[in-house]
Amino acid sequence: MSPTAPVPPATQPGRQSPPQGPVHTTAEVLATKRVGAYQHLTLLAPGVAERFRPGTFLAASVGTLGDHLLGRRALWIHQVRPVGGHGLALQVVVEPVGRGTGWLAGLRPGARLPVTGPLGRPFALPKEPVATVLVGEGYAAAPLFPLAERLRERGCAVSLVVGAADEPRLLSALEARRSARSVVVVTGDGSVGVRGRVGDVVPETLRRAGAEVVYAAGPAATLHAVALAAEEHGAWSQVALEQPLTCATGLCHGCPVPVVGEDGVARTARACVDGPVLRGDRVRWDDLDLDLDRRPGPDRDLPGPVGGAW
């Protein structure tokens, strides 16, 4: 494909549908840049960018020979952009919290690593041009920016809520203002925007936007709050749930998410292939172990309990 070709919207009528399914390939780091608390990596991963849809993610193999970490590390795909002479490149946002993410954050341009993607079910797009609210917390706001673009292409009004523990963890607030009709910024320490929890501002934002669909990505506790707010408001919720993944490809059954099926029967879904995006009203939140969301590392020593409840 031509390097400058725009990413075809996945379901735009009259266009050829993009190739489907994940690919396993070797990615090359084209660029790496520190922005606040995060490392933004630009990767060339043949075949992955072409298949991207917002809400899908990438699984990376991390570590060098000898200290190979056997599980894979999941990263939201943040952006897909043509890069001169290279075709489509993708951007991921890494918060170094442990061995794998620390290793990823330290990669230099030219480094190569095995990746698989795009993985998982993406955000489902509404058929009609309805009002939407997008809620993203920390690095997990990453998939919401390309989602906002797709929604706007469909004539949907987009309001954004972006939150983080503090300013260095606030993802692209500037970019947010470009991609949405209204933006609410929330930080745990009040360093920018409203001080508080992301979940606190969601009900009011839904009301003001007259939202019919709310999309969210962030810690499970935030997603739960969003799902509840959506239910109360009478909106649909689509939540991008992060659970610890081992294979990230559906092979190991190691990522159980308690859900309830359309038939009302309780089931266990796999976060990586049945998710990561699930309907908020389908997740059995009370049976989901929110503590799993606790990630280690000095950066994680935030005041208060885990899961966005700072």
Partner 1 sequence: MSTSLGGITLAGPVMVAAGCGGTGRELAGYSGPAGLSAYGAFVTRTLTRDPRPGGPAPRLLESPAGLLHATGLPNPGLDLFLATELPWLVQQGARVVVSVAGRSLGEYAEIARRLASAPGVAAIEVNLSAPDAVVAGVLDAREPFHAGGAIAAVLRELPRGLPVLAKLRPDLQRVVETARVARDSGAAAVVVGNALPAAMPDGRPAGLSGPAIGPLALRCVTEVRAALPGLQVVGAGDIATAADARAHLRAGATAVQVGSALLHDPTAAARIVRELADDPAVAATSDPSSDPTPDPTSDPTYDPTSDPTSDPTPAPGDRP
Interface ranges with ligand FES (CB under 6 A): 245-248, 250-255, 270-272
DSSP state of 85: T
Burial 13-35 (b: 16+ CB within 10 A, else e): eeeeebeeebeeeebbbbebeee
Site for partner 1 in 190-249 (CB under 8 A): 212-213, 236, 238, 243-244, 246-247, 249
Helix (H) or strand (E) holding 50: helix 48-51
What does 95 interact with, of ligand FAD, partner 1, ligand FES, none (CB < 5 to 8 A by kind)?
ligand FAD
What does 174 interact with, of ligand FES, ligand FAD, partner 1, none (CB < 5 to 8 A by kind)?
none
Q: Which residue has the tokens 């009203």?
A: 281
71 binding partner 1? (CB under 8 A): yes
What does 21 interact with, of ligand FES, ligand FAD, partner 1, none (CB < 5 to 8 A by kind)?
partner 1
How many residues bind partner 1, per CB under 8 A?
56
String of DSSP letters for 172-212: -HHHHHHH-SEEEEEETT-SSSEES-HHHHHHHHHHHHT-S
**Residue 76 identity:** W
114 binding partner 1? (CB under 8 A): yes
For residue 145, what are the contacts with CB-CB under 8 A and spacing of at least 6? 78, 79, 172, 175, 176, 179
205 binding ligand FAD? (CB under 6 A): no
Residues 139, 299 contacting (CB under 8 angstroms) = no
Pick 122 or 233: Cβ nearer ligand FAD: 122
What does 277 interact with, of partner 1, ligand FAD, ligand FES, none (CB < 5 to 8 A by kind)?
partner 1
- Listed ranges 11-19, 106-114, 173-181, 288-296: which one lies at the site for ligand FAD (CB under 6 A): 288-296
Query: How far, in Å, CA of 134 to CA of 300, rounded?
Result: 24
Pick 74 or 211: Cβ nearer ligand FAD: 74
Query: How far, in Å, CA of 129 to CA of 113, rounded?
Result: 40
Binding residues vs partner 1 (CB under 8 A): 19-25, 46-47, 61, 68-72, 114, 116, 120-121, 124-128, 212-213, 236, 238, 243-244, 246-247, 249-256, 259-262, 267-270, 273-274, 277-279, 282, 289, 292
